[in-house]
Structure 1
Amino acid sequence: MAADEPALKATLRDFGRKAVAERHDRLEAMIADTDFLVGDRLTLADTTLIGVARWAEFHQAVDGAAYPKLAALRRRIEAEAAVRYAMAVEDGKKPAGSGACLGHVPLAEVIERFAAPA
């Protein structure tokens, strides 16, 4: 927030952490006895989960140890070659990969090429 309003910031952070914890509680309860979220194969749901879980960690919104099924699921997802490849690209590395990825286009370039004129 640009404005220096400590009380408002604290209230919003508290609200956000409670909302994230509530969703983690629900997800923890919903995780079945499968390798991934919806079965035994990696899906878009799993890769989306990794992005969200990493943001929750980055913002220190929840204690990951409080969600053992989610933590185990996350380890399985992050062990997948495609996920390791994507995370390496995000970190600015140039992993060899399997050859399926034909190239990486930086977000700034995508915006410059395809954004609607202001």
Structure 2
Amino acid sequence: MSPILFYGVPEGCSFGSIVALEWSGKPYRLCRVEMPKVVSGDDYKRINAIGETPSLMLGDGRVINESMAILNCIASDHIGKGLGFAQGSAEFDRLNQILAYLNTSFFNAFSPLWYSIEHELEPEAKKALVAYGVAKVEKVHSELEQLLDGRMWLVDKGPSLADAYFAGIARWNDFHNVVDRKQFPALNSLYERLQENPAVRFALAIEHEQQVESSGRFLGHVSLDEALGYLKQAA
């Protein structure tokens, strides 16, 4: 059985894992998980007990949760090919440093803004929360500009899985209309370069349920019921 990635819509951070699988060139399938209804339901919690995406079901039925773990799993099959790097190398350490930053500081900077949309709040409380979120988003954009430090890509001389993950989170700035990315030339250049990448275009089309041709080895969608059937077989 080829791996199945469970990706969340709309605007899920699992976007980066779709991009990574496209870049990997290995066969995979996708399972679309609507947020918040399906992702928090009992059926999906059989895949991921905490009700979050992404999750990756491997060919043997084993399930990996959390973006960093999934991306590192994909990277492990591509050591020396630009996506993954040998443990102990400078590139490996840089990849994990950047992934950790994206997964904590960069991701979490948008949390107040998502909360302000998803929950009913008193006007003054919402205003304060949004202001807090905007300040955090501005801060992490400035920090990431410094972390790029003149590089074209986040890790090495070409796109890595850190860039894939970045592509999925950085677009939240446009959704919330926070900062003018052009204030951060290196970061803006990276973002715009990624928008032209076939795998990024593919992931965006998949999210919007548009017809699109894979540049990787995408084998199609499976329903959640089908995926749960594979889970039972593996057990």
TM-score range, shorter chain: 0.7 to 0.9
> How big is the shift at 1:105?
4.3
Q: Which residue of 1 aligns with 2:120?
A: 2
- Which of the residues 180, 187, 193 maps onto 1:63? 180
Asked if structure 1 preserves the Cα contact closer than 8 Å seen for 2:154 and 2:163, the reply is yes
Q: Matches of 2:151 and 2:184 in 1, distance apart?
A: 16
Q: Does 1:73 align with 2:190?
A: yes
TM-score, length-scaled by structure 1:
0.80
How much does 1:73 deviate? 0.5
In structure 1, list runs of 5 or more residues that go unmatched.
Answer: none
Q: Among 129, 143, 157, which residue is 1:26 paired with?
A: 143
Aligned positions, number: 110
Q: Residues 113 and 41 (structure 1 numbering): CA distance in 2 closer, same or farther, change over 3 Å?
A: same
Q: Distance in 2 between matches of 1:10 and 1:26?
A: 25
Cα drift, residue 81 of structure 1? 1.5
Mapped partners of 2:177, 2:222: distance in 1 = 29
Query: Which has the larger share of helix?
Result: 1
Give the counterpart letter for 1:83 in structure 2.
Answer: V
Aligned-partner Cα distance in 2 for 1:33–1:69? 7
SS in 2 for 1:103: strand
Match of 1:83 among 190, 200, 203: 200
SS for the counterpart of 1:36 is coil
Contact 1:24 1:67 in 2 (8 A): yes
Corresponding position: 1:43 with 2:160: yes
Return the structure number with greater relative CO, CA threshold 8 A, min gap 6: 2
Which moves more between the two structures, 86-95 or 6-15? 86-95
Inter-partner Cα distance in structure 2 for 1:87 and 1:2: 29
Looking at secondary structure, tell me which structure has more strand per residue: 2
Whether the aligned pair in 1 keeps the contact of 2:152 and 2:186 (CA below 8 Å) is: no
1:79, CA displacement in angstroms? 1.7
Q: CA deviation at 1:94?
A: 2.1
Query: Normalization by structure 2: what TM-score?
Result: 0.43
How far 1:26 sits from its partner (Å)? 0.3
- Which residues of structure 2 form unaligned runs of 5+? 1-118, 230-235
The answer to whether the Cα contact below 8 Å between 1:85 and 1:95 also exists between their aligned partners in 2 is: yes
